[in-house]
Amino acid sequence: MLKWFKKFGKKNEKEVQEEKIIENKEELTENQIEKLIEDEVEEQIVELEKEDQVEEVQEKVEETQEELDNLETELMEEELETEETEEVEKEVEELSLNKGIEKNEGALVEETKIEEERTKKKPNFFEKLMGGLTKTRNDISNKIDGILKSYKKIDEELFDDLEEVLVTADVGVNTTMKLIDRLRDRVKEEKVSEPEKVKELLKDEIKKLMLESVSDNELKVEPSPALILVVGVNGVGKTTTIGKLSNNFKNQGKKILIAAGDTFRAAAIEQLEEWGNRAGVEVISHIEGADPAAVIYDGIHAAKARKTDILICDTAGRLHNKSNLMNELNKIFRIVEREYGDATKEVLLVLDATTGQNAINQAKVFKEVANITGVALTKLDGTAKGGVVIALQAELGLPVKLVGVGEGINDLQPFNPDDFIDAIIQ
C-alpha cells in the first residue's frame, strides 16, 4: 500500500510535474500571448500615438495653413484697404477741394447776399430822398402832369395853373413869380409849342435859380478843428439833428464832442445825452438853467484838451423876443471867437419843413441876428411842402446843407439840389 502509495504518489508527482510543465507551458504560452498581446497593444498604441501625432501635426499644419491663409487674406485685405484708403483719401481730397471751392463760392454768394441785404437795408441818398419826398412829389409833379395833359397848346392859362401849383407847394410867391417869368421867356426863345415839354424846362429853371443863389451846399468842417453852432426854435428837431450829425461824422472816423448849450428847455440836456449815447459821442453839460455861453466855453476847452475834430454846440431855441435871442447868440459868438478863433465855423439853422412858409419867416429872423452859413431842413419826408427848399435858397440865399428824410439815426443826409429837383418833379 505504501509502495503503491509511493508509486502512486510518484506518479502523481510526475503527473504533477507534467501538469506543472503543461501549466508552465500553458503559462508560458499565456505569457507569450500576453507578451504578444502587450507588444501588439504597444505597437497599436505606438501606431495610435503616431496616428495621433500625425493627426496633431496635420491639425497643426492645417491650423498653420489656416493661419497662413488668414494672414494672406488679412494682407490682401490690408492691401485692398490701403488701396481703398488711398482712393478714399484722394476722393476726400478732391471732395475737400471741391468743398473748399463750394465753400468759397458759397462764401461769395453769402457775401453777395449780405451786400444785397445791406444795400436793401441802406438805400442811397437819392432812394431815401425819393421815398421821403413822396408827398411833395405827389403834390407838385402829379399836379403839373395833370395840368400839362389838360392843355393842347401853351398859353397864359397854363402858366397861371403852374404858378398856383408852385405857390401851394410853399415855393414862395416871389420865387414862383420869378420862375414862371423865366419859364415863359424860355418857351418863347426855344419856340416850344408842346405842353409836355414844359416840365423839363421848369425843372431846369428851378435848378438854375437855386444854383445862382447858392453856389455851394457842402457843410464845411475842414480843416479841423471845426465848430458847428446849431440854432433854431424849440420843436424843429435841433436835438435829433445834432445826434444824427454826430453819428454821421463818427462813422467817417472823426472825433466828435457835443456841448449842451440849450439849458432852458426842460429835459433838453437829457435828450441830447441820450442821442450822444446812441451815436457814441461824449456830451459836455451843466445843470438846467445854467448860462449857455458858459457851457460853450467849457465845451471849447474840452475839445482843445481832447484834440477833437468837430465840436457841435446846441443853443437855446427861444424866439419870443428877438432882442434876447440876439444878446444870447452874440455872447456865444464872442466866446467862440476869443477861445476858438482858429476853428472852421458853421452856424447851422435847423428848420421844420412841415411848417412851410413859417420856416421861411423863422429863417428871416435868424438871418438878421446871426450869420447863418447853412440850413438843416428836418421832417422833409412828412410834408407836401418840400418846395420850401427852393424858397430858402432862391429867395433868402441860404444854402440848404442837410435834409432829414426819416426818423432813423442815418437819415440825415447832405443836400444835393439836382437830386432834390429830380425827386420832386419826374
- Residues within the annotated binding site for GTP? 232-239, 314-318, 378-381
Cβ–Cβ under 8 Å, residues 400 and 265: no
Pick the closest to residue 268 from 277, 280, 260 (CA basis): 260
Report how far residue 37's alpha carbon sits from residue 32's, in angstroms, rounded to the nearest whole number: 8
CB atoms closer than 10 angstroms to residue 184? 15
Beta-bridged to residue 226, according to DSSP, are 310, 344
The x, y and z cell numbers of residue 134, run together, are: 413822396
DSSP per-residue string spanning 244-312: HHHHHHHHTT--EEEE----SSTTHHHHHHHHHHHHT-EEE---TT--HHHHHHHHHHHHHHTT-SEEE
Task: Name every residue whose Cβ is closer than 8 Å to that of residue 381 and which is 6 or more positions away in sequence.
Answer: 131, 132, 133, 134, 135, 404, 405, 406, 411
Q: Hey, what amino acid is at 241? A: T
- Residue indicated by cell numbers 419826408: 381
- Residue indicated by cell numbers 442815418: 410
Pick the closest to residue 197 from 239, 153, 229 (CA basis): 153
Strand bridging mode 400-404 / 310-314: unpaired
Report how far residue 389's alpha carbon sits from residue 424's, in angstroms, rounded to the nearest whole number: 11
The x, y and z cell numbers of residue 326, run together, are: 440876439
The x, y and z cell numbers of residue 27, run together, are: 503559462
Report how far residue 159's alpha carbon sits from residue 117's, in angstroms, rounded to the nearest whole number: 45
Q: Which residues are annotated as a binding site?
A: 232-239, 314-318, 378-381
DSSP per-residue string spanning 332-348: HHHHHHHHSTTSEEEEE
Phi/psi at 266 (5° precision)? -60, 130
Report how far residue 423's alpha carbon sits from residue 287's, in angstroms, rounded to the nearest whole number: 44
Beta strands in 279-370 (DSSP E): 282-284, 310-314, 344-352
- Residue indicated by cell numbers 423876443: 321
Cα–Cα distance list, 269 to 244, 256, 272, 299 (Å): 16, 17, 5, 14
Task: Name every residue whose Cβ is closer than 8 Å to that of residue 275 and which is 6 or more positions away in sequence.
Answer: 239, 240, 242, 243, 244, 246
